[in-house]
Amino acid sequence: MNAPLYIVDGARTPFCKMGSDLATSDAVELGRTAASAVLAQTGLDPALIDEVIFGCVGQPIDAANVSRVLALRAGIPAHVPAITVHRNCASGFEAVTQAAQKIAAGRGDIFLVGGTESMSRYPLIYNDSASRKFTTLSRAKTLPQKLAAFLRFRPSDFSPRISLQLGLTDPVCGLNMGQTAELLARDWQLSRDTQDHFALRSHQRATAARARLADEITAIYPRNAREPSAVLTDNGVRETQTLEALQKLRPLFDRHGGTVTAGNASQITDGAVALLVMSEAALKRTGLTPLGRLVDYAYAGCEPARMGLGPVHAIARAEQRTGLGLADADIIEINEAFAAQVLACQSAARSSDFCRTHLGLDHALGEIPDERLNVNGGAIALGHPVSATGARLVLTALKELQRRRARRALVTLCVGGGQGGALWLEAAS
């Protein structure tokens, strides 16, 4: 990249399972909390920010352009513009890379970016027939008109569709995300036992990393909670998780012969992440010290039914841009949408045949070693608030590089709809 983007600092809320500790906090409050924490940590005058860019997949109906609303509530002056971006699970990446594009184009020097998601708040949707009847009822003026409109309703009109379920189903291939993971498990012959062992490791690593992960978490005080108190930790990590307990779970997406369960899939989660990023010139002006920089990035498309292989496609494209390969990464983060999906990416990366046939390479991408992969656990344990995850991967990876005094990290994820994103990061020297 001709004009590098530097990541100065970041903060996130705890990640909490849908319907639990953060259910009373909407996407605005989650994002505001993370944004305020970053501003407090860095001491930056918010008036110096050129733009706020946040990802949000399930934007709240009552807060259009959620990025703008959370920015104002975080105390960022009204003259600072804001935009909300959406690339499904890569929305947090998109916020970072759009800032990089703007810096490279000379359209700003300082950006507050991230992602916020309240999956607890995804709405229920009434069908078209019910919607028309509600409209007719709302327009009725006299009592007879209202009674006639009301009598047109049928019991089926009061069975709304679950928007979260609809959002996790691909409209092109017709498969939900769990079914795409089942397809990969069959393609790559990934056993249930292998997937459960991977899930167990995620919980074990996240448990061991509690203190390290606490360094990136800011407390949040949920509004309207029955007993207001600070939420300080991710609540999806099961410190006493056992293989035996995982093996008792039934398949969710293929009842007859399936291998993907709630235990070896990512958790549906609420949470937000904010990152302060800036150009080299802005670093010099502010005197701030960065965690690291974005070396380069790539997005790639792939077959929607096998969207879980998106990281491999994006890693290959990033290698073509940067010359950096898997062996150059001191740590690697692949979002754990499903255990089967990450395991399939490991298999595909080492397969010369796959890389030749699907990526157009004359060599395999190489090995993704377990000892360098998701060293602090992943979304199976920590959760996956879809638009926030990409920004979390960036923050977690840079802080881990700092702790290890290591140089490079590769962070990547799959994207519903058949895409992948990959970012190469480098620690500050």
pLDDT digits (tens, 9 = 90+) for 115-131: 999 999 876 677 788 78
Structure tokens at 313: 């496609």
Structural domain contains residue 403: yes
| Between 338 and 149, residue with greater pLDDT | 338
- Across 73-128, the runs of DSSP E, i.e. the strands, are 82-85, 110-118, 124-125
Check residue 1 and give its pLDDT. Answer: 67
3 state SS of 169: strand
Can you say how many angstroms the Cα of residue 385 is from the centroid of all Cα atoms in its chain? 5
Taking the C-alpha atoms of residue 279 and residue 362, their distance in angstroms, rounded to an integer, is 37
**DSSP string for residues in 302-338:** --GGGGGGHHHHHHHHHHHHH---GGG-SEEEE--SB
Question: pTM for this one?
Answer: 0.93
Tens-place pLDDT, residues 177-212 = 999 999 999 999 999 999 999 999 999 999 999 999
Check residue 398 and give its pLDDT. Answer: 98
Check residue 297 and give its pLDDT. Answer: 98
Check residue 166 and give its pLDDT. Answer: 64
Place of tokens 């978490």: 217
Tens-place pLDDT, residues 244-286 = 999 999 998 888 889 999 999 999 999 999 999 999 999 999 9
Check residue 163 and give its pLDDT. Answer: 57
Place of tokens 């990281």: 311
Question: Does position 423 have pLDDT exceeding 90, yes or no?
Answer: yes
Tens-place pLDDT, residues 223-250 = 766 667 899 999 999 999 999 999 999 9
358 catalytically annotated: no
Taking the C-alpha atoms of residue 15 and residue 269, their distance in angstroms, rounded to an integer, is 6
Neighbours of 390 (CB within 10 A): 31
Structure tokens at 219: 């407390």
Taking the C-alpha atoms of residue 340 and residue 300, their distance in angstroms, rounded to an integer, is 20
CATH (domain of 96):
3.40.47.10
Interior angle at CA 57, CA 54 and CA 59, nearest 5: 80
Structural domain contains residue 45: yes
Question: For the chain, what is the domain count?
Answer: 1
Q: Mean pLDDT throughout 144-150?
A: 82
Place of tokens 């920089």: 293
Catalytic residue among 56, 345, 355, 414: 414
Instruction: Output phi, psi for 239, to 5 deg.
Output: -70, -25
Instruction: Report how far apart, in Å, the C-alpha atoms of 28 and of each of 40, 44, 120, 394 are.
Output: 18, 21, 13, 21
Question: Does position 167 have pLDDT exceeding 70, yes or no?
Answer: no
Check residue 222 and give its pLDDT. Answer: 87
* Least confident residue range of 29-43, 134-148, 308-322, 381-395: 134-148
Instruction: Output phi, psi for 367, to 5 deg.
Output: -90, 140
Structural domain contains residue 363: yes
Catalytic residue among 16, 56, 89, 302: 89
Domain range for 13 is: 5-121+268-427
Instruction: Output phi, psi for 304, to 5 deg.
Output: -55, -35
Q: Is 226 exposed, middle or buried (0-12, 13-18, 19+ CB in 10 A)?
A: exposed
Structural domain contains residue 399: yes
Question: Of 27, 24, 30, 57, which is closest to residue 163 (Cα–Cα)?
Answer: 57
Identity of the highest mean pLDDT range in 172-186, 214-228, 399-413: 399-413
Check residue 229 and give its pLDDT. Answer: 85
Question: Of 350, 305, 359, which is closest to residue 183 (Cα–Cα)?
Answer: 305
**Pairing verdict, β 269-278 and 124-125:** unpaired
Check residue 146 and give its pLDDT. Answer: 82
Place of tokens 């600070």: 230
Structural domain contains residue 130: no
Please list the residues that pair with 85 across neighbouring strands.
55
Structural domain contains residue 188: no
Check residue 308 and give its pLDDT. Answer: 97
| Between 155 and 24, residue with greater pLDDT | 24
Structural domain contains residue 163: no
89 catalytically annotated: yes
Structural domain contains residue 187: no
| Between 155 and 10, residue with greater pLDDT | 10
| Between 354 and 59, residue with greater pLDDT | 354
